[in-house]
Amino acid sequence: MIQQINPSEKVTTEVSKLFKVLKINQLLRAANIRKASGVNV
């Protein structure tokens, strides 16, 4: 069982890292769009 858990944990960690990166990129893009259009939100 332990051998099966380790790979899935690794995958979960990679997925969470990927989501963090995507979230950061989304926030940066949103900030850039606001700056470019001059809209204060």
Predicted confidence at residue 25, as pLDDT, reads 94
According to the model, what pLDDT value does residue 34 have? 78
Position 8 scores a pLDDT of 82
What DSSP state is assigned to residue 12? H
Of 14, 15, 41, 12, the residue nearest 27 (C-alpha): 41
The answer to whether the pTM exceeds 0.85 is: no
- Per-residue pLDDT of 1-41, as tens digits, reads 555 667 788 889 999 999 999 999 999 998 888 777 776 55
Beta carbons within 8 Å of 27's beta carbon, 6+ residues apart: none
Q: Specify the amino acid at residue 5.
A: I
Q: Which two tokens stand for residue 27?
A: 């926030």
pLDDT score, position 36 = 75
Domain residues of the chain, as ranges?
7-37
The number of angstroms, rounded, from the C-alpha of 7 to the middle of its chain's C-alpha atoms is 21
Q: What is the amino acid identity at position 40?
A: N
pLDDT of residue 5: 60
pLDDT confidence of residue 3: 59
